Chains A and B, each alone.
Chain A
Amino acid sequence: MRVMVFAKATESSEKAGAPTPEALEAFAAMDAFTEELVKAGVLVAGAGLKPSAQSKRIVIDGGRRTVIDGPFAEARELVAGFSIWEVKDMDEAVAWAMRSPNVMPGRSELEIRPFFEAADLADYMTPEELAAPRDGERGKLGVA
């Protein structure tokens, strides 16, 4: 299963400016952790995100679209980074997340959100729509 792991923003992650020596050290710890995820074949993608001061929101209300410039209040409701992991189950995702270093000074939060998968949609789709690949392509090369 695929999960997205959100690193929630904090007051410090929302601050702009050059990283402090502590932050650089924290980044190094994060790199080591990421390396572990790569070695285990778990990491699919991931990135850190700039502070909300550099972001924009588009509010869609019926047919209306409104652009709102950052920064946004409520740091803990914001996301400072994300990564996508391929794990066997939520237990494994949690076990990995427990190993994550804390890149923020003080309290920080990770949130693990599983992706919707075809099986979750079983109630809304026909079995035919959910049917997985069948035989016929085995052994073909290149142009699968």
Chain B
Amino acid sequence: MTGSAESSASRDGTGLVLACGRGRKCRVTAGDAHQAETDRAIEATFRIERARLIAGLARIVRNVDHAEELAQDALVVALSEWPRTGVPDNPGAWLMAVAKRRAVDGFRRDQMRDRKHKEIARTVDETRDGAAAAIEAAIDDDLGDELLGLIFTACHPMLSPDARAALTLKVVGGLTTDEIARAFLSTEATIAQRLVRAKKTIAKAGLTFEVPRGPERAARLPSVLEVIYLIFNEGYAATAGDDLVRPGLCLEAQRLGRILAALMPDDAEVFGLLALMEIQASRNKARTGPDGALIPLTEQDRARWDHLLIRQGLDALARAEALGATAGDAGPYVLQAALAACHARARRADDTDWPRIAALYDRLRVVAPSPVVDLNRAIAHSMAFGPDAGLRLLAEIDAAPLRAYAPLPAAKGDFLFRAGRLAEARSEFKAAATLTRNARERAFLLARADACDGKH
């Protein structure tokens, strides 16, 4: 037990009890042997506050690097003071006050005393004078807004999607450079370089870390949503080794999505993206078989779906629809979430509402035109209205971009097979088998080709 701790805190049994506000006591084990444990508890508290801290600081110092350093400095102070004083009532405000003081000291050292800096100095002095409540209230008012400003800045369209993803994971998600590198199967040096460049670009452009307003906000939101979904897909489509340090990118993206939804409670597409991610993630445990092969949606064991996430997703989708995205004006994320929800709602694959899925694809191809959407639309129509409907829509697809895309001939083979045109089906399955690079998929397609012979 350290001397300083004993002087300001009371003992209770074997550990040390620290007052932590509102009459609560928190036991912080204080012996030297438990120093590491105390530090971890403080660091965990810091991690909760980190993104908002950086967001608030970035708006003042207009520099991500500097904001990160100041936040880190505040952690160092907390590590030395909290074991003695206890965790403050509002740790976020405490850390912010310390970091701002550091920022002001820095400004003073640099002899840069324009009006803005004096203004910051004044608020900090007020804190010193005990007007902490006032500044805490002000901070609480701004925090959500500042965090949103940081997210919009990190996801600025002037940065490449990869740079946006790395920067968002770093400053908002709190991942280390090494963790990001592992997540993207890249090297630490590459990611560090990407982060440096992104931060320089932001500084050079003089971004203010404000939340864009009005039409600009609507124009820049897609690049935020794109990055979160990119992070999600990176995790959803990735391989997982036995490397336990590798962070769950899906979880990270879902957390970002939930944070964004809390910050932008009036935007249907934000809830659409959240719903899409939650529902897709709900299938994670059912998507692969014992041999590691992907299991198609319709063949998955639905008992292995995560029904908590499905509920979260359906709630988010309901919210998006309540925000007015039901009619013809639904955006691509709301529509995709609605598609995912059709599957999530079906207890058995046979219960799937294919006519509704077909109708949703009809709308999705308007707001997010792509040959892959057209292909999926044809599949949905074939399930809803029979193989001939699928074949008709396939014939309309611009097939050039899908020339080497195995799912196209595979779908066509399936429609032909179901229409009883076995010889044609056989050649489509063969064509699909030569296009796929996945051995299991090839075996599956060749088996389907053989089944066409068997029917003769």
Interface residues of A (CB under 8 A from B): 38-42, 44-45, 84, 86, 88-89, 91-92, 94-96, 98, 101-102, 118-119, 126, 128-129, 131-144
User: For chain B residues 226-266, which have a beta carbon within 8 Å of chain A?
Assistant: 233, 236-240, 244, 251, 254-259, 262-263
Contact of B360 among A44, A138, A142 (CB under 8 A): A142
Cβ contact within 8 Å between A135 and B239: yes
Q: Could you show 30 A-B contacts with beta carbons less than 8 Å apart?
A: A38-B258, A39-B259, A41-B259, A42-B255, A44-B309, A44-B312, A92-B47, A95-B41, A98-B20, A101-B22, A128-B290, A128-B292, A129-B290, A131-B288, A132-B288, A133-B237, A133-B238, A133-B284, A133-B287, A134-B239, A134-B294, A136-B438, A137-B237, A140-B376, A142-B339, A142-B357, A142-B361, A143-B376, A144-B280, A144-B283
* A21 vs chain B, min Cβ distance (A): 18
Contact of A135 among B43, B237, B380 (CB under 8 A): B237
Cβ contact within 8 Å between A142 and B364: yes
Cβ contact within 8 Å between A126 and B236: no
Does B116 have its Cβ within 8 Å of any Cβ on chain A? no
Q: Compute how far the CA of A95 lies from the CA of B28 in the bound complex, rounded to whole angstroms.
A: 12
Cβ contact within 8 Å between A39 and B262: yes
Cβ contact within 8 Å between A136 and B311: no
Q: Compute how far the CA of A38 lies from the CA of B259 in the bound complex, rounded to whole angstroms.
A: 7
| Segment touching A, from B196-204, B208-216, B366-374, B442-450 | B366-374
Chain B residue total in the interface (Cβ 8 A):
62
Q: Compute how far the CA of A38 lies from the CA of B47 in the bound complex, rounded to whole angstroms.
A: 16
Cβ contact within 8 Å between A41 and B294: no
Does B346 have its Cβ within 8 Å of any Cβ on chain A? no
Cβ contact within 8 Å between A98 and B87: yes
Q: Compute how far the CA of A91 lies from the CA of B42 in the bound complex, rounded to whole angstroms.
A: 9
Q: Compute how far the CA of A139 lies from the CA of B237 in the bound complex, rounded to whole angstroms.
A: 9
Cβ contact within 8 Å between B373 and A41: no
Asked if A142 meets B254 with Cβ closer than 8 Å, knowing A95-B41, A137-B236, the reply is no
